[in-house]
Amino acid sequence: MFLSLLTTLVVLGQAPATIPSASPLTVLIAPPDAAGVPSHIVSFAQEHVYEQLKTEGLQVIRASELSQGLPPAQRKAVLGCNRLEAACRITLGEAAVADVVMIAELVQFLSGYRVGLKAYATRDGELLAEYYVPGVHEDQLLDAFTEASNKVLPPVLRALRPSQEPVAQTPAVTPTPVPGATGPLTPGVATVRQGTPEWAWMPAAGGAVMLGLGTFFTIQAGNNHYRLTNTKFDNAMDARSERDAGIRNQALGTTAFVLGAAGVATTGALYLLKGKSPLDYLPVRPTASVGPSGGSVGLVGTLP
């Protein structure tokens, strides 16, 4: 009996210790960025992303499930925050006890929808991965979201759960060259960037304001010139004052135009550095016109 007990202890001592596996990744599907898209299409797309992530072995939480678990006083503050801000994404992820906050994007153009999927880390609210599919027709939306999910998930797992990253290699896909695009294309690689570039449109907005001011001052300078050449002044001091006002307005108008152009150029440079496909968005550019009785200024393009 003593020998049997001793043998059992020796066998148990030689058995390897079981290493606990990492917990599965928890993902919150936040409310989407889909302004102007019919609600039934948005709901259908959100549910498809939910099912797609579930099939990959992830723990997935819907925004509606998070809403039901929050007190009414906290619900509006959490779900109604600005998802463009990192602090909002951190709040959403912590409220859902999730590792990742996933935000779907649906933007409608004349050529079809632009489908996007963005994954943010709860720990700091920063972007982990994103992928966009432009020119998607309504009957291709589910396939596009499946493609986006398959492209975004590997970088996310690589960053947060390296042990759960699939080891199987997917076949390389030959990319279709985009007319006018420069630089080599890497097939089958999702766009992965650190930081949040959503503020890149702000210099263009400030530039538009400066262009509006430039238009205003230019019109004022024209009015000064008209009064100076067509009005009989009672004394030289009034004429000199009108002339100085015209010079000042002309200088202010020129300065505002230069600053406005610099702001728009800054936004253009930021978007070029982002590395998105030219099909993903329409570039933002200012428009301004000056006439004898007034002027106008505006922006043409797509803001993020």
The stretch 27-37 carries a mean pLDDT of: 90
Mean pLDDT check: name the lowest of 78-92, 94-108, 161-175, 233-247: 161-175
Alpha carbon distance 46, 83 (integer Å): 16
DSSP letters along 134-191, please?
A: EEE-GGGHHHHHHHHHHHHHHHHHHHH-GGGS--SPPPP-PPPPPTT--S---TT--B
Comparing 61 with 16, the larger pLDDT belongs to 61
Cα 199 to its chain centre, rounded Å, is 9
CB 125 within 8 A of CB 86: yes
Q: What mean pLDDT do residues 262-280 have?
A: 65
pLDDT of residue 299: 57
Indicate the angle between helix axes 39-55 and 141-160, nearest 10 degrees.
Answer: 40
Nearest Cα neighbor of 197 from 289, 127, 124, 133 is 127
Query: One-letter amino acid identity for 132?
Result: Y
Greater pLDDT, 16 or 57: 57
Q: What was the pLDDT predicted at 119?
A: 94
What number of other Cβ atoms are within 10 A of residue 299's Cβ?
Answer: 17
Specify the pLDDT at position 19: 38
CA distances from residue 249 to 37, 45, 261, 263 in whole angstroms, order as listed: 45, 54, 18, 21
Tens of pLDDT, residue by residue over 70-128, are 888 788 888 888 888 999 999 898 988 999 999 999 998 888 999 999 999 999 999 99
16 has pLDDT over 50 = no
pTM reported for the whole predicted model: 0.50
pLDDT at 217: 86
Q: What is the pLDDT of residue 243?
A: 85
